[in-house]
Structure 1
Amino acid sequence: MMLTDAYSRRFNYVRLSVTESCNFRCTYCLPDGTDCHSRSGELTLAEIRRLIIAFAKLGAKKVRITGGEPSLRKDLTEIIATCKAVPGIEKVALTTNGYRLKRDAQAWQEAGLDAVNVSVDSLDADTFHLVTGQDKLADILAGIHYAKAIGIKQVKINTVLLKQHNALALPDFLNFVKQQDIALRFIELMRTGDNANFYQHQHLSGASIQQQLLADGWQLNPKARTDGPALEYSHSDYQGKIGLIMPYSKDFCADCNRLRVSSSGQLYLCLFTDTYQDLRSLLQTDDSATLMRFLQQSVQGKAFSHQLTQDYSGSTRHLAQIGG
């Protein structure tokens, strides 16, 4: 069985937010800090297990655990182990701000973590502090190197493109990946409900970076079946890779393979939808058949594309809401 929508897109990749809370104050996401006053409504470990079992029975192969900041969940190691233990799940990944990476990476790997993406929006300590509200760049970079050293299979860096903060920093990022087998992905800033003014001042297209990479001999790599939306490039002179996530580009949604579930059990068919389906009531028993039918019916209503180019971001207030 496979989750397939009306446009014949197959969904084998689940992005699961486990909390909306975050301990960073990134300018493009939560500049005033987290707005979560209570975390009592977050999915329990048992509910997460039932959810992932149903998705796996419908062909899901990959789970990415996101937030907010997922390491704020005290049971994150157990969540990783639970997802990895589900038959059919081949890859468990984590997106984190890296705050607890050096402390917990060993436990996460032993629980079954295959890949980790770490948000690093600048390699300059002062700029990093300005963007994130945390003076932690050195610690986070140390955590990235530690994750590589202990053998986590894939370690990637996510960098949000910001016109006033890192638009001229491509040489620094290229130098960073020259001698390190790390994939660094530039992500175009996306319009959300809370950042309209910030978006107008800071949005930077990834097209200029793409053109420069191609002009300098970088080659586009083929995608694996559970890969996300990044276009990843490699170069024979560099150990690492450079990726680009450009949601405003033509046909960005044509090969979508991802569905999202919020930390309170709401199914989002798109990051920028204005509706969602509540799965919580279907996660209270181990009978996955009803949940599977609901998921199959729901994906038929998935739109072909987001409407970001029409300046419409749906009900997404900020990227911490359902993990970006």
Structure 2
Amino acid sequence: MPGEQHQPKSRGGTAMSQLSDGFGRSFPYMRLSLTEACNFRCSYCLPDGYHADGRPQFLGVAEIERLVRAFAALGMHKIRLTGGEPSLRKDLEQIIATVARVPGIRKVAITTNGCRLPRLLPLWQRAGLTALNVSMDSLRRERFHAITGHDRLPEILEGIELAQQLGLSSVKLNAVLLRERNDDELPQWMEFLRERPVSVRFIELMRTGDNAEFFQRYHLDAEGVINQLTAAGWQQRPRAADAGPAREFNHPDYCGTVGIIAPYSRDFCKDCNRLRVTARGDLRLCLFGDFGIALRPLLQSDQDREALIARISGQLGLKAAGHGLHQGNTGITPHLASIGG
């Protein structure tokens, strides 16, 4: 394919990422938001639901293909499709297939609220999906309803079982830790993981532009969960080069694993390995950054490929050493649905 000369090869023939910053971090992993819309009303993200703002439409399939080809030419090999809720895109199956066909892309993952898994997951897998993350903030049906605004836990559990039957390479469940709302469920999660080869990741609640009061009331330090895990004999696993930000723990008596995503912990950003692109085509160097870099003008024609690659690779010098959450700086992210977390 044109432009594949950009891909440096390791001794094993695998493309190596040319995307690196001034702090020695490389970036083989991109999170691509497909939409800002979501059909859930999670209390920590969109408690009043999604409201369209009338701005330009989200990236189309052709734009997404040009974007992913440019990143792949620079050695990026893992793409996670996020939202909002990506399953609201009627062309999601086509998007997955398009991304999976790009030379150099080895992993295509999706993060979803899971409500459409029983019906659509087999189609996504056939299109090229290799990994699945499902947002599931509680194992208790009434709590799940209270947190998300939807009584959909049974069908989401059905979808998770289906994912295991289909043999996806990775199935992970995301639970945002909320003080006095779901912070007593660790024993129940342990039983869930005893016979299931999935990973549950407990995510520390993050401050965003519009949740200050909620954050103050419900934020819970994830270190408490880590202390419980280690006391129960769980041990931290080595981190894969293209893994997400979770610290992963396993235990010989359990088939599943536990991940902890603690953005307020010391040195959280030192191993950052991912970049983000919004549903409207802005490159974000950090989830909580103060600016975006417009890529969409260069996604309209194959003739702009070299300029697009140059714009992407030329921005990494602007990436900061870490976020400003400890100083109360949440950047330009109003809520996590706007960029996919």
**Superposition TM-score tier, normalisation by shorter sequence:** over 0.9
- Which SS does the other structure have where 1:320 is aligned? helix
- The alpha-carbon deviation at position 40 of structure 1 amounts to 5.2
Query: Among 23, 43, 57, which residue is 1:7 paired with?
Result: 23
Query: Among 313, 316, 321, which residue is 1:299 paired with?
Result: 316
- The alpha-carbon deviation at position 70 of structure 1 amounts to 0.0
Q: Which runs of 5+ in 1 are unaligned?
A: none
Q: Which runs of 5+ in 2 are unaligned?
A: 1-7, 9-17
RMSD (CA atoms): 1.0
Alignment of 1:39-58 (within 5 A): 41-58=57-74
Q: Deviations over 1:33-77 (max 9, x none)?
A: 002244851101000000000000111010000000000000101
What is the count of residue pairs matched by the alignment? 324
- Tell whether 2:133 aligns with 1:114: no
Equivalence for 2:183: 167
Equivalence for 1:80: 96
Q: TM-score, normalised by structure 2?
A: 0.93
- The alpha-carbon deviation at position 241 of structure 1 amounts to 0.4
- Write the distance in 1 (CA, Å) between the matches of 2:241 and 2:102: 19
Q: 2:204–2:219: 8 Å Cα contact kept in structure 1?
A: yes
- Write the distance in 2 (CA, Å) between the matches of 1:300 and 1:102: 43
Query: Among 76, 84, 96, which residue is 1:68 paired with?
Result: 84
Equivalence for 2:208: 192
- Which SS does the other structure have where 1:5 is aligned? coil
- The alpha-carbon deviation at position 164 of structure 1 amounts to 2.0
Q: 2:172–2:199: 8 Å Cα contact kept in structure 1?
A: yes
Q: Deviations over 1:77-117 (max 9, x none)?
A: 11111111111111000000001011100000001101000
Q: Deviations over 1:149-200 (max 9, x none)?
A: 1122211100000002111111111111111111000000000001000000
Equivalence for 1:279: 295
Query: Among 82, 86, 97, which residue is 2:113 paired with?
Result: 97
The 4+ residue runs of structure 1 with deviation greater than 4 A are 37-40
- Write the distance in 1 (CA, Å) between the matches of 2:115 and 2:228: 32
- Write the distance in 1 (CA, Å) between the matches of 2:245 and 2:167: 25
Equivalence for 2:12: none
Q: 1:158–1:185: 8 Å Cα contact kept in structure 2?
A: yes
Equivalence for 1:241: 257
Percent identity for Structure 1 against Structure 2? 53
Equivalence for 2:153: 137
Q: 2:198–2:257: 8 Å Cα contact kept in structure 1?
A: yes
Equivalence for 1:151: 167
Q: 1:178–1:237: 8 Å Cα contact kept in structure 2?
A: yes
- Tell whether 2:326 aligns with 1:309: yes
- The alpha-carbon deviation at position 7 of structure 1 amounts to 1.1
- Write the distance in 2 (CA, Å) between the matches of 1:224 and 1:92: 16
Alignment of 1:205-284 (within 5 A): 205-284=221-300
Q: 2:56–2:280: 8 Å Cα contact kept in structure 1?
A: no
Q: 1:19–1:39: 8 Å Cα contact kept in structure 2?
A: no
- Write the distance in 2 (CA, Å) between the matches of 1:75 and 1:223: 33
